[in-house]
């Protein structure tokens, strides 16, 4: 009964199913986005994805091919998310700064995953090469002894989150800012302080040998929808189901659906790594009050070295000597 009551309250507040979450009650065909002084649809502003933090990237297997939560499931998920949001205030009253202050969450969407294709909302199966690449990937999530820099992932080393991960929520620093000028659109990312440049001047992609961490993006307008084609990826710079190859390709569509909403879609293919592609689909919400802060990653640039000196067999004697000296001092 409690979940049913919450569901009724959400409906009364206008928190509706997924299709309605992507706009303000108008369809993309009805809404006409304002134009810049040079005539392009105006997408400028802050579009943080922090509010997507509790909607998983992959759909939990228990839902099968069902893409949305029932009223009861949605109410339960909202209640659980709100309890986590309340931790911030509880920590403040207790004079603490713990995970409630550290992690940026939000309330769930009706959709139960950010991946909507394949039908099960999960990453597609890997090719044999994809399996090999995944098995060989080393990061701080799967490694305990760090001997060299190769034992750290791209995120550990603060190089990049790769694509499409850079467009998805993390635990914090989820800001996305869009800037525009004639022939060029920039997407500023708060996490790892990267900026994607989307060229709208009709140029062609560079030769395949020219590769970039976030790829090379060329865009065009289809009506008021911005279509971005991105290729020329540097291998091993993606945090998807496995490290990417140079054949990774991403097609994104950003469609304004209201004064402060955009429908974001992305199709990701990498035939070397995945047997099929997958699609991401979720709403963007403008937040003019959101501030983009410095992303320091690891302060003082000492953490990677600390992992190596504290775990590597090469430093075992030094660690033992340090512990012995400490014991004698006590």
Q: Is the pLDDT of residue 71 over 90?
A: yes
Q: Which residues contact 219 (CB under 8 A, 6 or more apart)?
A: 185, 198, 199, 200, 226, 227, 228, 229
User: Would you say residue 290 lies in a domain?
Assistant: no
Q: Is the pLDDT of residue 25 over 90?
A: no
User: Would you say residue 50 lies in a domain?
Assistant: yes
Q: Is the pLDDT of residue 329 over 90?
A: no
Residue 180 and residue 91 share a domain: yes
Quick check: 51 and 107 in contact, CB under 8 A?
yes
User: Would you say residue 65 lies in a domain?
Assistant: yes
User: Would you say residue 292 lies in a domain?
Assistant: no
Distance CA 57, CA 124 (A): 13
Phi-psi region of 290 (alpha: psi -120 to 50; beta: other; left: phi over 0): beta
Average pLDDT for residues 23-28, to the nearest whole number? 43
Residue 105 and residue 51 share a domain: yes
85-106 tens-digit pLDDT? 888 888 888 888 877 777 788 8
Residue 179 and residue 36 share a domain: yes
Average pLDDT for residues 240-248, to the nearest whole number? 94
Average pLDDT for residues 8-16, to the nearest whole number? 39
Q: Is the pLDDT of residue 330 over 70?
A: no
Instruction: Give the pLDDT of residue 8.
Output: 43
Name the strand (E) or helix (H) holding 93.
helix 71-94
Residue 299 Cα distances to 97, 127, 306, angstroms: 18, 38, 12
E-state strands within 223-277: 225-231, 249-258, 261-269
Residue 304 and residue 155 share a domain: no
Average pLDDT for residues 179-201, to the nearest whole number? 96
Residue 177 and residue 30 share a domain: yes
Distance CA 32, CA 284 (A): 17
Distance CA 144, CA 260 (A): 44
Residue 231 and residue 138 share a domain: yes
Instruction: Give the pLDDT of residue 4.
Output: 42
Residue 310 and residue 238 share a domain: no
271-300 tens-digit pLDDT? 999 999 999 999 999 999 999 988 888 877
**DSSP state, residue 298:** S
Structural domain containing residue 324: 299-329
Q: Can you give the pTM of this predicted structure?
A: 0.86
Residue 323 and residue 224 share a domain: no
292-310 tens-digit pLDDT? 988 888 877 788 888 999 9
User: Would you say residue 184 lies in a domain?
Assistant: yes
State the total domains in the chain.
2
Q: Which has more pLDDT, 92 or 178? A: 178
Residue 7 and residue 140 share a domain: yes
Quick check: 55 and 282 in contact, CB under 8 A?
yes
137-171 tens-digit pLDDT? 999 889 999 999 889 998 888 889 999 999 999 88
Residue 279 and residue 303 share a domain: no
């Amino acid at each position: 009964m409690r979940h049913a009551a919450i569901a009724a309250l959400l409906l009364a507040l206008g928190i509706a199913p997924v299709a309605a979450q992507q706009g303000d009650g108008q369809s993309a065909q009805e809404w006409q986005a304002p134009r810049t002084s040079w005539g392009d649809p105006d997408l400028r502003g802050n579009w943080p994805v922090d509010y997507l933090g509790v909607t998983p990237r992959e759909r939990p297997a228990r839902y099968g091919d069902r893409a949305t939560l029932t009223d009861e499931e949605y109410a339960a998920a909202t209640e659980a998310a709100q309890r986590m949001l309340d931790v911030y205030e509880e920590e403040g009253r207790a004079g603490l700064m713990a995970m409630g202050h550290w992690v940026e969450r939000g309330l769930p969407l009706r959709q139960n995953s950010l991946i909507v294709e394949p039908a099960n909302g999960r990453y597609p199966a890997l090719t044999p090469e994809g399996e090999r690449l995944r098995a060989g990937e080393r990061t701080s999530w799967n490694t305990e002894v760090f001997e060299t820099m190769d034992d750290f992932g791209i995120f550990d080393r603060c190089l990049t989150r790769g694509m499409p991960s850079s467009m998805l929520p993390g635990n914090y620093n989820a800001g996305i800012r869009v800037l525009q000028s004639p022939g060029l659109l920039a997407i500023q990312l708060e996490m790892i302080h990267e900026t994607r440049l989307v060229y709208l001047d009709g140029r062609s992609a560079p030769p395949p040998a020219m590769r970039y961490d976030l790829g090379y993006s060329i865009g065009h307008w289809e009506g008021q929808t911005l279509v971005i084609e991105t290729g020329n990826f540097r291998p091993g710079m993606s945090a998807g189901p496995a490290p990417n190859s140079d054949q990774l390709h991403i097609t994104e569509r950003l469609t304004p659906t209201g004064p402060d909403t955009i429908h974001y879609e992305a199709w990701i293919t990498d035939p070397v790594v995945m047997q099929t592609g997958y699609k991401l689909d979720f709403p963007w919400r403008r937040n003019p009050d959101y501030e983009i802060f410095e992303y320091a990653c690891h302060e003082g640039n000492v953490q990677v070295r600390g992992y190596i000196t504290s775990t590597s067999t090469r430093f075992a004697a030094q660690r033992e000597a340090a512990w012995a000296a400490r014991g004698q001092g006590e």
